[in-house]
Amino acid sequence: MKLLHIVGARPNFPKLAPVHRAGQRAKLSQVVVHTGQHYDDAMSDAFFRDLGIAPPDVNLAVGSDTHAAQTARIMQRLEPVLIRERPDWVIVYGDVNSTMASAIVASKLGIRVAHVEAGLRSFDRTMPEEINRIVTDRLADLLLTPSRDADEQLIAEGEPQSEIVFVGNVMIDSLFYALPAARATGFRQRLGINGSAVVVTLHRPSNVDDDHRIQTLADVLGEIALTRPVVFPAHPRTQRRLEAAGLRMERVTMLEPIGYLEMLDLVEHAFAVVTDSGGLQEETTALGVPCLTVRHNTERPITITEGTNRLVPDPADILSELQRLNRPAITPKPEGWDGGAGERVIAALISHSQ
């Protein structure tokens, strides 16, 4: 059986790693295609190094562009690769443009598509990721879900039960795998952080492209930094928006994008995380670290019902929410967030190939 994995953007890489490793253990033939949606070392290559995965076999080097142009470029450049490789399965991850573009190309070539992280919904179509999730799930032949709510959602949308397999959370496989190396980085000491910090990541257009919201966020983070360390590794988009708005964030420790291990080291020891990332909502739950998600909704409700996540739609409320946070006595462990999800993905692929 031949698998062709497609990744493109930062959050895809920790999802690929455990599935690829499990595929190697099962002695399957595997090809990894990187679309090049993300291309900076810190946004891409660093993750392959940190996660111990070999560099991609093919890089489509599509780069950044508008959504339509980027999606089109991925489709055009992927098609000949799939025709040449003719895999039994194309495996796509998460909800980025590379995920949706690849699902369209593979399904039109009659190649079976498996979607890892199927069934998540924010019910907010202003998010490009929501459109990517819906299209990918409609086209996929095998829907591999991270939580039971995702199974229910797919059934409600009319997907046949036979195509849905609950596998658990592959991101958490990577987290457990990388924690010892993350602890050994000494990253916090190098930054000189004393005491438990508030770790911040913000990159969604809904937060950083809105002048009023980014100003409020900068004010609030500055206020928090009066009483405890605030560390903010900023996505390139966020850096540019902060500069354009003339926001200096003087008391906040601003960083360039950092690697996977450095981020885990920061997050594991954080007082709390303030974010709009999908993956961090899950990672904080698995680590028992309080998380404030600066969004109106989440496609990962289990991080609220069973985890440490809390939605803070209005950035002005972050400070008061932080003041009433508690670290949970017991680290949450949602079903299937156990380090074995990659193995279950491969098992599902094998059993659905017969």
* Six token digits for residue 211: 């002048």
Q: Using a CB cutoff of 8 Å and minimum separation of 24, what contacts does 311-315 make?
A: 315/207, 315/213, 315/216, 315/217, 315/220
Site for ligand UD1 (CB under 6 A): which residue of 72, 128, 149, 216?
Answer: 128
Is the Cβ of residue 22 or residue 62 nearer to ligand UD1 in the bound state?
Answer: 62
In angstroms, the CA 335 to CA 150 distance is 13
Is the Cβ of residue 133 or residue 269 nearer to ligand UD1 in the bound state?
Answer: 133
Told to check if 11 binds ligand UD1 by CB under 6 A, we report: yes
Q: What's the closest the beta carbon of residue 66 comes to ligand UD1, in angstroms?
A: 9
Is the Cβ of residue 8 or residue 336 nearer to ligand UD1 in the bound state?
Answer: 8
Q: What's the closest the beta carbon of residue 81 comes to ligand UD1, in angstroms?
A: 19
Told to check if 129 binds ligand UD1 by CB under 6 A, we report: yes
In angstroms, the CA 88 to CA 290 distance is 41
Each residue 47-66 as x (binds ligand UD1 by CB under 6 A) or -, in order, gives -----------------x--
Torsion of CA 176, 4, 257, 301, to 10 degrees: -60
Q: Which of residues 135-194 bind ligand UD1 (CB under 6 A)?
A: none
In angstroms, the CA 242 to CA 256 distance is 13
**How many CA atoms within 13 Å lie on the side-chain side of 113?**
25
Tokens 């562009």 label which residue?
65
Is the Cβ of residue 39 or residue 176 nearer to ligand UD1 in the bound state?
Answer: 39
In angstroms, the CA 191 to CA 33 distance is 35
Q: Which of residues 184-213 bind ligand UD1 (CB under 6 A)?
A: 203
* Six token digits for residue 200: 């911040």
Told to check if 37 binds ligand UD1 by CB under 6 A, we report: yes
Q: What's the closest the beta carbon of residue 345 comes to ligand UD1, in angstroms?
A: 21
The length of the chain, given as a count of residues:
354
Q: Find, among 130, 152, 142, the residue nearest to 67 by Cα.
A: 130
Is the Cβ of residue 77 or residue 203 nearer to ligand UD1 in the bound state?
Answer: 203
Q: Is 203 known to be catalytic?
A: yes
Catalytic residue among 38, 203, 235, 269: 203
**What b-and-e string marks burial along 121-134, b requiring 16 or more CB atoms within 10 Å of the CB?**
bbeeeebbbbebbe
Told to check if 222 binds ligand UD1 by CB under 6 A, we report: no
Q: What's the closest the beta carbon of residue 79 comes to ligand UD1, in angstroms?
A: 19
Q: Per CB under 6 A, which region of 160-168, 218-226, 231-239, 326-334 contacts ligand UD1?
A: 231-239
Instruction: Find the DSSP H helices in the chain.
Output: 13-25, 45-50, 67-85, 97-108, 128-139, 148-156, 170-183, 187-191, 205-208, 211-224, 236-244, 260-268, 278-287, 302-305, 318-323, 341-351
Q: Which of residues 248-277 bind ligand UD1 (CB under 6 A)?
A: none
Told to check if 40 binds ligand UD1 by CB under 6 A, we report: yes
Is the Cβ of residue 124 or residue 219 nearer to ligand UD1 in the bound state?
Answer: 124
Residues that bind ligand UD1 (CB under 6 A): 9-11, 37-40, 43, 64, 95-97, 128-129, 203, 235-237
Residues assigned a catalytic role: 203
